[in-house]
Every structure is written in C-alpha cells, then in structure tokens.
Amino acid sequence: MDPNYLILGSAFIGVLALVMGLMSLFQGRADTDLETRLIAFTGRSPANRGEIASEILRDGLTTAQGFFGRLIQRFENLPLLFRQADSPIRVESFFVICFVSAAAVLLMATAMRLPNTMLPAAALAGFSMPWGWLLLRRRKRIRSFEKQLPDALELLSRALRSGNSLAAGLNVVATEMPAPISMEFRNVYEEQNLGVPVDQALRNMLLRMPNMDLQFFVTAVAIQRQAGGDLAEILGKISSLVRERFKILGQVKALTGEGRMSGAVLMALPIVLFLTVYTLNPDYVALLFNRDLGRKMIFCAVAAQCFGGYVIHRIVNIKV
C-alpha cells in the first residue's frame, strides 16, 4: 500500500472528525418520549389525535434518523438550510466563498511549507470554514428562537383568553416579539392570510425551525382544530413546561461545564502541540511522514482523537 494514500486517509479522517463535531453541535435535539409528553399535554390517547396530528408526529420522528441521514437531507434541502440560518448570502455565492477560502488556506499551507501530503487536508479545512460559519449562524438563530418561544406562547395564550382569534394572536406575536420569532410568526400570519390553512402554515414554520417545543405547539393547534378544547390553557402549560426545562438545562450545563471545557482542551491540545513543534523544528516532525512507523502513529493518533471526542461528547451531552 502506498504510504501517501495512508497519510491522505488519516488527514481525511481528521478533517471528517472536525466536520462531524461541528454538525453534532448544530443538530436538532431528538426525543424518543414524544408520544408520552404529547399525551401529557392533550390528555388524549394516541388513537384520538386525528390524521393531521399523526402526520405532524411522523414528520418530527423521521427528521433525525442518524447523523448521515440528517447530513444527506440537509444537502438535498440546501436552500432550507440557508433559510433556517437566515443567511444573507445566496447558495451560489456561498460556494464561491468556499472555494476561495479553500484556495486561501492552501496558499497559507504552501507558504508555511507544510508537507505535500497535508495540502489536501488544508484545502478541505478551508472549504469547511464557511460551512462552520453557516451552521453556527443557524444554531444561534434556532437557540434564540427557543429562548423566545415561552414568551411567545404565553403572549398568544393571553391573546386567546382576551377573545382574539388564533390568527389575531399570531399577528400579536409577530408585532410585539423581537426577531427571529417575530419573522417566523409573521410568515405564518401572511401565509394563512393568503389562503394557506393554519395547520399547514404552522407545519411550514416547524420545517424552518426544527424544535421539539414548537412541535408541541403545532400539534396542539392541529388537535384543537379537529377535536376542540381550550387552546389557551394548553399553550399556558406548554409555556410553563418549556420554562422549567430551560431551568433544568441551565443546571445541567453548569454541572457539565468542567467536562466540556476539558474535552475542548484535550481535543485542541494535540493539534496545537503538533503545529508548535512543526514551527520550531520541522525536521523533527518530518520523521512522522517519512517513516512507516511515523505514518502508523499518525493514523492511530487521529483514530484515538476521533474516538475520544465521541466519548466526551456522549458524556457531556445530556438530553433534557
């Protein structure tokens, strides 16, 4: 086996681990107890929820069937990813930026006189940088939406109790709340004004904002429109539950803060140390690339790094 292919393979695994780490940070939270929590909200059995609510549940449960399934789905729905991130850059321009970034990092790697076998990895890392910015923007927007959702549901519940219709309540949220939740509720209000059923308009918002708490709201509206009931009371319960979940989530983050910081340091330390030693003494690091034992050590180090990062992520990532 050609040693160059082994080095390229190890470099590819390292960059793939970086991309998988970024994607794991931005992936939506899945909850296998959706049926139980939904029954607790509505007080109804699964057989009495209606076809629309069942379809919403199926959509929510099939959105995350594993990392690679989500990755393929995002590439198939690339415009939706840009819309979720509210990106000011178009898809075509974004890919141009990706290639320019890859070329810039490749030139920097060439100027630093990195080994030729590391140049493809450097170009791939440069190509991934704009994707990291896009996913970070998407994550920030979705988290802002999550934080604003309890206030929006409480505001909508008060609007319903005061005698307003659901459409008027949606307009109140779109007018009174800040972005990004005001933008999404305004889109729902405008869609239903144009003749789109409220259920479908809410499902479109759920597609743009994949959030479990929002899915409860959409399901509750679908059930209420079919079977009746006090929607204002249900929205109040959802709002209270979301607030309590955020409190527990804050406590969990505080308890796992040391583990997350340790994981970040342990993941970054080998890379920083490698670059530092290479800058100070390139000939010393070149032994890892020129000898078979060194290449095997690089491959084992990358594999151990990926496995350690996965284990740390599983330990500190507690579902709430």
Taking only the tens place, the pLDDT of each residue in 17-49 is 555 555 544 444 434 444 454 444 444 444 444
Neighbours of 270 (CB within 10 A): 14
Span 79-96, average pLDDT: 86
SS3 assignment, position 31: coil
Residue 198 predicted with pLDDT over 60:
yes
Angstrom distance (rounded) from CA 311 to CA 69: 21
Q: For 27-36, 134-143, 211-220, 232-241, which range has the lowest pLDDT when averaged over its residues?
A: 27-36
**What distance, in Å, lies between the first and last C-alpha atoms of the chain?**
47
Section 291-308 average pLDDT: 85
pLDDT band of residue 56 (cuts 50, 70, 90) is very low
pTM recorded for the entire structure: 0.63
- Using alpha carbons only, give the angle 247, 29, 39 rounded to the nearest 5 degrees: 75
The answer to whether the beta carbons of residues 12 and 299 sit under 8 Å apart is no
- Tokens matching residue 5: 């292919």
State pLDDT tens for residues 226-261.
Answer: 887 788 888 888 888 888 888 888 888 887 787 888
Nearest by Cα to 220 from 237, 208, 204, 205: 237
Least confident of 27-41, 62-76, 100-114, 225-239: 27-41
